[in-house]
Chain A
Amino acid sequence: MNESVRLDGVSKHFGDIVAVKHLDLAVAEGEFFSLLGPSGCGKTTTLRMIAGFEFPTSGSLTIHGVEMALQPPNKRPVNTVFQSYALFPHMNVAENVGFGLLMQKVESSEISTRVKRALDMVQLTHRAEARPKQLSGGQRQRVALARALVNEPEVLLLDEPLGALDLKLRQSMQVELKELQERVGITFIYVTHDQEEALTMSDRIGVMNEGLLLQVGKPEEIYEHPTSRFVADFIGEINLLPATVVDHQSVELQGGHVVRAATGAQPGEAVTVAIRPERLTLFELDQIIPEGANTVRGRVIRRTYHGDVFYYDIETAAGVLEVKEENRPGVELYDVGEEAVAAWSPRATTVVED
């Protein structure tokens, strides 16, 4: 794995505020890496430090092995797609796309060929003469992409590039972006607060909160095996139940119920058990439950219809559990007030320390 961008102990302070705390991160060449977190978590500041718009207060930042922490943006082999696109309003589409090449003093004949190729790539050749304000949101987004990619950067930085688009367009752009990234083979560092976007597009995700990089991993690792309560809660829907560690194989829920769950925590320690709603299945009281499953008995207190799924709130001694059941023939429906058993596999039980 060739390293593309590497941050070692990077911190950024704005006055008394610490935006990024001692961040270590290595992004591989050709990787689609997402920085995910709520607003104000430091993800954008991290991206801006890689771009060169902010300089780290401390730490080292290398791009392809070259120290870049204090280099201005124009001296870095990276380009940015801005959240607001930041297209130059006084230039047309072709001039916008050609700007970086012009600044690098590329010959004008080569500029026009490369601009044309870049516009072909994003299917906007026919709008080359248009001003940015004459374009739709999706078209602006593609111009912003072309303007960055035409320079063939080693790393492309994207700051919530789909945030301003409506849902349908956003979904199709997600696919388009991912395909584009695979085709050009450039490292993408993608900042988003949208977990679905991060899960579907990324090779790896880094989850940030309050200036800290909490967990880095493949989408399925982040989703299935969160290492902290924050990550578990932030990504997807999840049931969080307070518990006490019994041994390395089991924990005790509130109400004295012991369930099986692997944990590295010490016996007696207070932890949180995290279970995804779709990993829970409801059974009738007299039904046979698969061997080895964790179970907890409760009563349905709410059922909501979502079209493709039903959500149940089950009141148990361990707390209220949310259960997601598919809406298809053969799946038993439970009414409010009915007693049921919620069951799940020990492997779907994640123990996170508080």
Chain B
Amino acid sequence: MATDVRTVEVATPEFEIAAERAAARRGLLIALPSWLYLTLFFAVPLVIVFVYSFATRSSTGRTRLEDWNLESYRRLFDPLVGEIALRSLTLAFLTTLICLVVSYPFAYYIATRRPAIRNVLLVMVMIPFWSNFLVRTYAWRVLLGTDGPLSQLSQALGGDPIRVLFTNTAVLIGLVYGYLPFMVLPLYAALERMDWSLVEAARDLYADGLTAFRKVTWPLSRPGVIAGSILVFIPALGAYVTPQILGGARTTLLGDYIVSQFLAARNQPFGSALSFGVMAVMLAATIVYFRSGAKNL
């Protein structure tokens, strides 16, 4: 037996608990600015809107918080609201679909280039962000106008003037244009991570190019497809600026409808209920979509 036994400092349970607490405190400190910001400018307004959605509009257009009721939520099932929602959903769906169809080959192209070329192409995707969204949307007014360059080209080729401005088609063009980068970037991120030897393995195992894409590339890029679709679909569903600038006066979408409840109709409770209705649909759609993608990975 060794006689020279020395006492060794052992980490006691108390010490470990204290260390864990210190780490938790440090974590909180780092997150504090964002916590404060989000609470003040996101959570608090959200709670206000939520409370308002149960209030009543007085005959003078003021919001009375005294008698709580579900009247505003009942109004969500009006045929008019359904019509507007369906129009918005269709538009958001088409925007997402077109963005996906246009972006996928492009993202695939970028992801399969040499790194130097990749970066140049990515910068090009992001260049539009350097100028203001509003300005770019107004530019589409000029491009799509009856005497705009597209229309002139059509006439020069012996066709009719193009009359798309102030229609849902113009809104669709504007939305696709505006949200395209949000589809390209997640798709690129997913494809850039792709292990291309998997595609080679599929080709080696007798799959032709198209089948290898269908069986391997596409399913493995699904997380990018899902992320991109959510990033496009949700803002497109609530879009306000683009329909205001490029859309017609007669085709109301959810975004303008909500704004009009707050500003024109002065019906804050109904506007609030509408906002929460849209948010609930978006949340449900997001969860379903994520689940469907997560299943296979």
Could you tell me if A88 and B211 are in contact, using CB atoms closer than 8 angstroms? Answer: no
Closest Cβ of chain A: how far from B201's Cβ, in Å?
A: 4
Could you tell me if B206 and A151 are in contact, using CB atoms closer than 8 angstroms? Answer: yes
Could you tell me if A82 and B197 are in contact, using CB atoms closer than 8 angstroms? Answer: yes
| A74 contacts the other chain (CB 8 A) | yes
- Contacting residues of chain B (157-215) with chain A, CB-CB under 8 angstroms: 195, 197-198, 200-209, 211, 215
Known contacts: A89-B220, A90-B219. The answer to whether A82 contacts B201 by CB under 8 A is: yes
Could you tell me if A52 and B203 are in contact, using CB atoms closer than 8 angstroms? Answer: yes
| A295 contacts the other chain (CB 8 A) | no
| B135 contacts the other chain (CB 8 A) | no
Residues of chain B within 8 A (CB-CB) of A100 are: 205-206
| A253 contacts the other chain (CB 8 A) | no
Residues of A within 8 A of B (CB): 51-53, 72-74, 78-80, 82-84, 86-90, 99-100, 103-104, 147-148, 151
Residues of chain B within 8 A (CB-CB) of A83 are: 197
Interface residues on B, range: 20 to 34
Could you tell me if B220 and A147 are in contact, using CB atoms closer than 8 angstroms? Answer: no
A-B contact count (CB 8 A): 65
Residues of chain B within 8 A (CB-CB) of A148 are: 204
29 sampled A-B residue pairs with Cβ under 8 A: A52-B203, A53-B200, A53-B203, A53-B204, A72-B203, A72-B208, A72-B209, A73-B200, A74-B203, A74-B204, A74-B206, A80-B200, A80-B201, A80-B204, A82-B201, A83-B197, A86-B195, A86-B198, A86-B201, A87-B201, A89-B220, A99-B205, A99-B207, A99-B215, A100-B206, A103-B205, A104-B206, A148-B204, A151-B206
Residues of chain B within 8 A (CB-CB) of A79 are: 204-205
Residues of B within 8 A of A (CB): 195, 197-198, 200-209, 211, 215-216, 219-220, 296-297
Residues of chain A within 8 A (CB-CB) of B219 are: 90
Residues of chain B within 8 A (CB-CB) of A104 are: 206
Could you tell me if B203 and A88 are in contact, using CB atoms closer than 8 angstroms? Answer: no
Residues of chain B within 8 A (CB-CB) of A151 are: 205-206
Closest residue of chain B to A147 (Cβ to Cβ) is: B205
Question: In the complex, A16→B216 CA distance in Å?
Answer: 32
Closest residue of chain B to A53 (Cβ to Cβ) is: B200
The 8 closest A-B pairs by CB, nearest first: A100-B205, A103-B206, A86-B201, A86-B197, A73-B203, A74-B206, A80-B204, A103-B207
Within 8 Å by CB of A88, from B198, B206, B208, B209, lies B198
Question: In the complex, A73→B198 CA distance in Å?
Answer: 13
Residues of chain A within 8 A (CB-CB) of B201 are: 80, 82, 86-88
Question: In the complex, A137→B72 CA distance in Å?
Answer: 60
Closest residue of chain A to B211 (Cβ to Cβ) is: A103
Within 8 Å by CB of A90, from B203, B209, B211, B220, lies B220
Question: In the complex, A82→B203 CA distance in Å?
Answer: 13
Q: B201, B215, B219, B296: which has the most chain A beta carbons within 10 Å?
A: B201
Question: In the complex, A194→B146 CA distance in Å?
Answer: 72
Question: In the complex, A51→B211 CA distance in Å?
Answer: 18
Could you tell me if B204 and A51 are in contact, using CB atoms closer than 8 angstroms? Answer: yes
Closest Cβ of chain A: how far from B214's Cβ, in Å?
A: 11
Question: In the complex, A219→B287 CA distance in Å?
Answer: 60
Residues of chain A within 8 A (CB-CB) of B207 are: 74, 99, 103
Q: B203, B208, B297: which has the most chain A beta carbons within 10 Å?
A: B203
Residues of chain A within 8 A (CB-CB) of B209 are: 72
Question: In the complex, A73→B220 CA distance in Å?
Answer: 21
Residues of chain B within 8 A (CB-CB) of A74 are: 203-208
Closest Cβ of chain B: how far from A130's Cβ, in Å?
A: 15
Question: In the complex, A78→B205 CA distance in Å?
Answer: 9
Could you tell me if B197 and A84 are in contact, using CB atoms closer than 8 angstroms? Answer: yes
Residues of chain A within 8 A (CB-CB) of B204 are: 51-53, 73-74, 78-80, 148
Closest Cβ of chain B: how far from A227's Cβ, in Å?
A: 34
